[in-house]
Structure 1
């Protein structure tokens, strides 16, 4: 299952781990997704939504 918010489409970000010897390896920061039962036009639907969408009120729990 993709690490992507169903509302805003926010996905993981990529960067580097940098060791003390300055060796770099790729790493990723995943989105904080929560399963939420949200109200939609056709009723309620189970969605995976990021916490920033929940906090700003983009999703209405139902």
Structure 2
């Protein structure tokens, strides 16, 4: 599944794990993407949406 919200564009972020001894290794944070049936451009489609957009009401879910 794509790690990209089709509404807000939120995607994968990168950074470092930092250990107690301050050694750094690369890591990624992935958004919580859900595949839902939603109304987009007046028609029902399956879209990839982050949970923040679902909770804030930016997506109208289709029943």
Instruction: State the partner residue of 2:31.
Output: 31
Number of residue-to-residue matches in the alignment? 62
For structure 1, the 5+ residue unaligned runs are none
Q: CA RMSD in A?
A: 1.2
Which 4+ runs in 1 deviate beyond 4 A?
A: none
The offset of 1:21, in angstroms, is 1.7
Q: Give deviations 1:36-55, integer Å, cap 9, x for gaps.
A: 10012241000110000001
Unmatched tracts of structure 2, length 5 or more: none
Task: Write the distance in 2 (CA, Å) between the matches of 1:48 and 1:34.
Answer: 6
| C-alpha distance in 2 between matches for 1:2 and 1:43 | 21
TM-score scaled to structure 2, two decimals? Answer: 0.88
- TM-score by structure 1 length? 0.89
